[in-house]
């Protein structure tokens, strides 16, 4: 990360940059999972005639109990408390077991989209809880040889659905992104880090997914970890827009236009007139209280 002057656009930007400096020293600014999409064609099927819904209430109960809305604008998850509660750990494990016993292709595409987002987020929470205490999800590996050889759990198999072994990378980059082709999916997936979009207090469902993704996009873009002005010639934006640039456009101007879409009035106007350069940053520190 560059050591640069404090941003002026957001009140909490100074704290954000201080945290980012500390995090950058400990964790790399490179996403360890592939951002390329190789669609798993067997998942691109649905039964739109099926009116049944998937029960995400257990996940909602976990969110109600352990997700804390922080005044900084970043939701924090209380992994320590969940680890200490054996009953709720069982509840989370049973919910993930329930999801893995289903074949999402038996449901509508809307049900599937919510299913995969909730699956990704709840599985991520379980992996962190199982490994806790850790300072970052980057420290979590099943087959740890050394810290230098550990780059997070994304490429490791942690689930099985319809007879297929799946990784977090599969869910995001081989199912959600190529099948739905919706850039807002990035705002719905939480990687248990300060720099990522926050977990939302409401579990996704077929009825609320599109609304929640739009809400999450606005919250993220209007927080310093989404975009922050250093001065009139330099902005820092989340590395998500660099890692997944193929989803947000062919150029940095496309990224700026995307940010404008979800920015509040003052920020949107400043982005509209911005002609400077972009730097990318990400904070991998754990999103815990």
Residues 6+ apart with CB under 8 A from 125: 62, 77, 79, 82, 92, 192, 199
Q: What is the pLDDT of residues 105-130, one digit of tens each?
A: 999 999 999 999 999 999 999 999 99
Is residue 281 within 8 A of residue 228, CB to CB? The reply is no
Q: Of 1 and 48, which is predicted with more confidence?
A: 48
Using alpha carbons, list the distances in angstroms from residue 215 to 88, 144, 189: 28, 37, 13
pLDDT band at 8; cut points 50, 70, 90: very low
Q: What is the pLDDT of residues 167-209, one digit of tens each?
A: 999 999 999 999 999 999 999 999 999 999 999 999 999 999 9
Examine the pLDDT at 11 and tell me if it is beyond 60: no
- Burial of residue 181 (number of CB atoms within 10 Å: 0-12, 13-18, 19+): exposed
């Amino acid at each position: 990360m560059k050591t640069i002057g404090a941003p002026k656009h957001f009140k909490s930007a100074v704290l954000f940059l201080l945290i980012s400096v500390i995090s950058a020293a400990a964790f790399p600014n490179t996403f360890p999972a592939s951002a390329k999409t190789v669609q798993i064609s067997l998942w691109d099927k649905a039964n739109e005639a099926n009116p049944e819904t998937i029960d995400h209430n257990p996940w909602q109960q976990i969110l109600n109990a352990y997700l804390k809305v922080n005044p900084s604008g970043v939701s924090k998850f209380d992994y320590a408390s969940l680890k200490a509660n054996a009953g709720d750990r069982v509840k989370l494990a049973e919910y993930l077991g329930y999801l893995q016993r289903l074949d999402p292709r038996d449901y509508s595409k809307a049900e599937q989209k919510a299913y995969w987002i909730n699956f990704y987020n709840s599985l991520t929470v379980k992996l962190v809880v199982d490994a806790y205490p850790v300072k970052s999800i980057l420290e979590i590996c099943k087959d740890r040889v050394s810290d230098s050889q550990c780059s997070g759990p994304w490429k490791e198999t942690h689930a099985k659905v319809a007879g297929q072994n799946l990784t977090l990378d599969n869910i995001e980059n081989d199912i959600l992104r190529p099948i739905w082709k919706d850039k807002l999916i990035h705002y719905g997936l939480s990687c248990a880090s300060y720099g990522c979009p926050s977990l939302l207090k409401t579990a996704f469902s077929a009825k609320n997914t599109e609304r929640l993704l739009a809400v999450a996009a606005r919250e993220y873009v209007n927080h310093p970890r989404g975009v922050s002005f250093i001065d009139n010639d330099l902005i820092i934006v989340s590395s998500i827009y660099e890692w997944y640039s193929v989803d947000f456009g062919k150029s940095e101007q496309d990224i700026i236009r995307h940010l404008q879409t979800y920015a509040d009035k003052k920020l949107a106007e400043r982005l509209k007139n911005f002609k400077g350069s972009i730097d990318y940053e990400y904070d991998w520190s754990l999103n815990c209280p």
